Amino acid sequence: MLSLSLKHKLQLASALLCLTGASAAQAVADVTIDACVTENSISHPSLASDMQSLCGVSSSVGQLIGFTIGGFLVHLIGSKGVFGILSIPAALVILVGMMLHEPFIHDVAYRQVSQKFLAACKAMWMALKCENVWRPCLYMYISLALSLHNHEGMFYWYTDAKGGPLFSKEIVGTISSVGAVGYLLGVLLYQNAFRNHPFRFVLFWSQLLYGASRLLDLILVSRVNLQFGIPDYVVAVSDAAISHMIGRLRWMPLIVLSSKLCPSGIEGTFFALLMSIDHVGSLTASWAGGLLLHTLNVTRTQYDSLWIAIVIRSFSRDLPIGILFLVPNSDPNASILPTEMLKTKKSDDNSKKGEEDFWTFKNWRWLHW
């Protein structure tokens, strides 16, 4: 980030390399944190929801801070100045890493790295063949892939459409910050009201409301709100808060479920695999949403068919309800994996030590956002 901020004539390839390196470094830190959370979720199944809720609160607070000050900082010091400021959270993450007290391992057998890698791959394949694992994974991918995205179409309609609200970039940033508040409310709602309910129950209602909430965009595009004297900004803010809250309420049981699907010994690697499946699902939704906008001829200057895209998007987000049978209808506080996949060689002392590391990591998770 400092290179992007200090270099005045940085080539495109160098800039992409810097951004890729920053994303890779963040991914490594995230996997380390997720491994710690997943390990504690397996050893303490009843606390899995609490741990993921803590993660959600931390990330939502970080998003809220970022969205709130991001637009103003770009306006005041420019994009390069913002890249320079982004190096501060990275430095704080390094500080957190220095605070962790871990034993130094002497005489590491580097020749056994390949053997350990093959053993980890074998353990991951054995886990994926388990019915209790691949069925929820399939549901997570399909549910995310059917959540079609048309953010680009709505963004340009917000800012460029002649008959639209013509929001400025600062206002769009403010709307995004309100969405971060919705994320936070969704986490708190799950933690206090739904964390003890079965996964299917929470996913059914959240998925149903998730599709219905996106119809608020239809009110804006059809300009029905103006007929009742409701400003565009009020509707846009309400849409961001409600849809993001329901979206996070839908996401929380999936994250808790993912943390319970990781076998002992490869928690971080397997959780990273599950998150990769989720990211592929989100990428599929983005491609499908872009293809839908292209098919309906929605461009930066043409928005006549945008309302059709909104209706199709809302309907598609309710389709995963039909495959909820893939999700276990068990107690969210109980273990899901077979007993032989939960065996661990770590002692109780190491487990307590892992808990201490977990709390240190989690209190600083918002730095990644």
Structure token pair of residue 197: 């309910």
Q: Which fold has domain 22-100+124-368?
A: Growth Hormone; Chain: A; (1.20.1250)
What's residue 32's pLDDT? 74
Side-chain-side CA neighbours of residue 152 (13 Å): 16
Structure token pair of residue 188: 């708190």
The pLDDT tens digits of the residues spanning 69-128 come to: 776 777 777 777 777 787 787 788 778 777 777 666 666 666 676 777 787 788 888 888
The pLDDT tens digits of the residues spanning 339-368 come to: 766 654 443 444 444 444 444 444 444 444
What's residue 342's pLDDT? 62
Structure token pair of residue 100: 């962790």
The pLDDT tens digits of the residues spanning 184-198 come to: 888 889 888 888 888
- What is the C-alpha to C-alpha distance for residues 285 and 142, in angstroms, rounded to an integer? 9
Query: Do residues 179 and 59 lie in contact, with contact meaning Cβ atoms separated by under 8 Å?
Result: no
The pLDDT tens digits of the residues spanning 304-332 come to: 899 999 999 999 999 999 999 999 887 77
- What is the C-alpha to C-alpha distance for residues 175 and 118, in angstroms, rounded to an integer? 47
Closest CA to 93 of 48, 30, 155, 151: 30
Share of the chain above pLDDT 70, in %: 85
Annotated domain spans of the chain: 22-100+124-368
Structure token pair of residue 206: 């959240």
**How many residues are present in the chain?**
369
CB within 8 A of 43, min separation 6: which ones? Answer: 344, 351, 354
Share of the chain residues as helix, strand and coil, in percent rounded to the nearest 5:
75, 0, 25
What's residue 358's pLDDT? 45
| Helix/strand/coil (H/E/C) assignment for every residue in 243-278 | HHHHHHHHHHHHHHHHHCCCCCCCHHHHHHHHHHHH
User: What is the average per-residue pLDDT within 261-272?
Assistant: 78
Query: Do residues 132 and 139 lie in contact, with contact meaning Cβ atoms separated by under 8 Å?
Result: no
* Number of other CB atoms surrounding residue 246 within 10 Å: 24
Q: In whole numbers, what is the pLDDT of the chain averaged over residues?
A: 79
pTM confidence score:
0.77
